[in-house]
Structure 1
């Protein structure tokens, strides 16, 4: 067997230019397929880690995915708010360790404004990390302090101390702005690769303050409250959009969920983030399949190039096959030689694809983690990737059966005769 592999290797070295092009084509297609598979897996894991450390999300009764979309990803609009008294009762439940309320409804130049408490920066997390690090500055403390996500700061080129004016509503083109109460940027969050990067964060009291002089979605012309002299009792929140909940023990998760879902004061729903995220990801299954099919077509095309390369050399190698027969090789040896060449070519393409993938990950991993929150660590392929590699290798061997069979038949016909 080793002699056959050595002979196949010597034959490939004799045709190195063609072989190199074939291996490069196959290697690039393998890189594409493995890269798509790695991105798919890491994107899914990053997607599922978007609400790291949160045990429940509570909001007005709606579909779990809808609650997840507007509370975590800031997509869509909430069906209703939950009352502040309800929030305080939820916070007082014995198994509840911490709560982070959020209030949505305003925007800043296309980015969502999130009213919350300083606990947001302490308890919210991503990628199994607890707490949100600041790139610059600090959390809001004053009534008109604002903290920007990384995308907001970079996209709009804001720095600490800049003055911003929030807009009423979430439309990109705002009809009304809260110009009477500008905010000052006091903090900029480090990049997380999650929707947190696209938020503007202010206090719940600030949300109440900017809406004191509004009625029915429009500013009041008469009887307005002086923003510089707002009584503290007017700043108490009346309602919040959703609440992120952390528990002392995850064994209490279903107990608290049942209490919330059966609450009689108003219709509520408590959602397990992981379950809702899995449901949401299931809606994207078709996109995953489409990407894998596209990569599979690229690999199939590369394997066809391999097949064409071997077939195109069969006629030129007829003398070589005759000489092998002359020194005692039978048709089966010729068949095995062509099959071994196909296996070697495919194996070299797989090896090149793996090396390109690992090199690319080593070079781009820090940038991808900082920019998109995707962590790609170079290392051994995952089980699903081993399965893909094995499938490609066996596919190359199966295609190698075609030229091997042709060489076998021609060897039987030619014997030791050589066409001149």
Structure 2
């Protein structure tokens, strides 16, 4: 038996280039299928864990998905802002326990800047309702006396190598990468901020956000008008406290209720607010709408990945079947040294299974390598935190299905080899 296996192994090595190409195709198809599934699962997990304990998100009237995306995940831009008077009127509703105002629009080296109140660190929850924690420093406080303190996320600190006490300069708006490279961004360089706190990693968009208080947002734009600095006019940082830094408008607000049973009542109250066109969305409902909207795209991507896997196993059938005519004499020699027709058929099945197994092994390695390389990019640009693991339990059915497909792919050439006879293999074909 060992002699037969040695002959079969040498036969495979003799065809190593062709079989190596088949392994490569299987590996790529496996990697594509697992990557689509892994990103899909981690995207849902990251989005659902980014906000917990918040009952409503309030913003200017737009689509619920858009409001949730820009207020929680820092994706996209607000269509309009909320007047501060409207925000105060809404928060006086007796069913509301707490509220967190949010002001967006500025950035720092590609990371979003979020203006908020000290209540943000007290009430915001993520994951399993975990509170934000500091890795170093302290949280900022409300008021004009705490204007130029910034609390940065873990990813901001890691990528920009910031430490406590470092000075940072914020930019107006969210510039594109081309604008940053061309140095076309408008910076608030007259009013630098000091890093007073670094948050512990959360795996949410908080990690890539620079947090300042609402008064800081107002102070930055005292000498700006219509989105541009006033020519030949600048207010020094030490003079900003002389001005009224009460916010005039905010981007959105996070709302927590005393009793969740009142969520629909408060939502109707906000949606029918008379003084301004506002929208209140329930985060879980908005996420469900997002996944429903993307479900067809998910199925399409999974279908394409499955089709690529099918094509790769068809190529496996084609390669093994095409090599049978060249190997008929080899198979006859195996028969001559004592191999039965069933054994030869099993040998071809084993060859198909080994090629599939090698392809799956390299495919999983490619997925893990891509996850390692692309994790930071997905986290920075889309807020998707990839969970690092060699093989996930949810991926086992897909891996098992691919391995069974490899075995099935070997059935056709194995059946053909079973039909070959010793005389057919030894006969001369012209």
TM-score range, shorter chain: 0.7 to 0.9
Deviation, 1:60, is 0.3
Deviation, 1:115, is 0.4
Deviation, 1:376, is 3.8
Residue 67 of structure 1 aligns to a residue whose secondary structure is helix
Partner of 2:55: 55
Q: For the Cα contact (< 8 Å) 1:145–1:202, is it kept in 2?
A: yes
Among 196, 199, 209, which residue is 1:199 paired with? 209
Q: For the Cα contact (< 8 Å) 2:170–2:187, is it kept in 1?
A: yes
CA deviation profile, 1:38-61 (whole Å, cap 9, x unmatched): 343223322333334433221000
Partner of 2:427: 419
Deviation, 1:86, is 2.5
Partner of 1:239: 249
Among 253, 260, 267, which residue is 1:257 paired with? 267
Measure, in 1, the Cα distance between the counterparts of 2:417 and 2:238: 91
Deviation, 1:62, is 0.5
Q: For the Cα contact (< 8 Å) 1:18–1:309, is it kept in 2?
A: no
Range that drifts further, 131-140 or 175-184: 175-184
Please report the RMSD computed on the Cα atoms of aligned residues, expressed in angstroms. 4.2
Partner of 1:301: 312
Q: For the Cα contact (< 8 Å) 1:97–1:246, is it kept in 2?
A: yes
Measure, in 2, the Cα distance between the counterparts of 1:185 and 1:34: 40
CA deviation profile, 1:324-353 (whole Å, cap 9, x unmatched): 9x99x7xxxx4x656644554455566667
Gaps of 5+ in 1: 1-6
Measure, in 1, the Cα distance between the counterparts of 2:393 and 2:91: 45
Deviation, 1:203, is 0.2
CA deviation profile, 1:256-280 (whole Å, cap 9, x unmatched): 3222222222111112333433444
Among 152, 157, 160, which residue is 1:153 paired with? 157
Measure, in 2, the Cα distance between the counterparts of 1:226 and 1:151: 30
Q: For the Cα contact (< 8 Å) 1:59–1:270, is it kept in 2?
A: yes
Q: Per the alignment, do residues 176 and 26 of structure 1 end up closer, same or farther by CA in structure 2, a change over 3 Å counting? A: closer
Partner of 1:68: 68
Among 302, 305, 315, which residue is 2:328 paired with? 315
Deviation, 1:315, is 0.6
Partner of 1:113: 113
Range that drifts further, 168-177 or 70-79: 168-177
Partner of 2:85: 85
CA deviation profile, 1:111-170 (whole Å, cap 9, x unmatched): 322101123233334443522333332222322101222343344333221222333333
Partner of 1:166: 170
Measure, in 1, the Cα distance between the counterparts of 2:83 and 2:243: 16
Q: Per the alignment, do residues 197 and 301 of structure 1 end up closer, same or farther by CA in structure 2, a change over 3 Å counting? A: same
Deviation, 1:78, is 1.4
Q: Per the alignment, do residues 10 and 125 of structure 1 end up closer, same or farther by CA in structure 2, a change over 3 Å counting? A: farther
Measure, in 1, the Cα distance between the counterparts of 2:354 and 2:260: 49
Residue 15 of structure 1 aligns to a residue whose secondary structure is helix
Q: For the Cα contact (< 8 Å) 2:35–2:367, is it kept in 1?
A: no
Partner of 2:8: 15
Q: Per the alignment, do residues 89 and 356 of structure 1 end up closer, same or farther by CA in structure 2, a change over 3 Å counting? A: farther
CA deviation profile, 1:229-259 (whole Å, cap 9, x unmatched): 5568822222211012233444443333222
Partner of 2:382: none
Deviation, 1:364, is 10
Partner of 1:96: 96
Range that drifts further, 400-409 or 299-308: 299-308
1:374 aligns with 2:386: yes
Q: For the Cα contact (< 8 Å) 1:12–1:19, is it kept in 2?
A: no
Deviation, 1:366, is 9.7
Q: For the Cα contact (< 8 Å) 2:317–2:413, is it kept in 1?
A: no
Q: TM-score, normalised by structure 1?
A: 0.76
Residue 66 of structure 1 aligns to a residue whose secondary structure is helix
Residue 332 of structure 2 aligns to a residue whose secondary structure is helix
Measure, in 1, the Cα distance between the counterparts of 2:276 and 2:420: 83
Q: What is the correspondence of 1:263-274 to structure 2 with a 5 Å cutoff?
A: 263-274=273-284
CA deviation profile, 1:53-89 (whole Å, cap 9, x unmatched): 4332210001122212321232333122112233233
Q: Per the alignment, do residues 18 and 63 of structure 1 end up closer, same or farther by CA in structure 2, a change over 3 Å counting? A: farther
Partner of 1:410: 420
Residue 235 of structure 1 aligns to a residue whose secondary structure is coil
Deviation, 1:103, is 0.6
Partner of 2:134: 134
Q: Per the alignment, do residues 349 and 355 of structure 1 end up closer, same or farther by CA in structure 2, a change over 3 Å counting? A: same
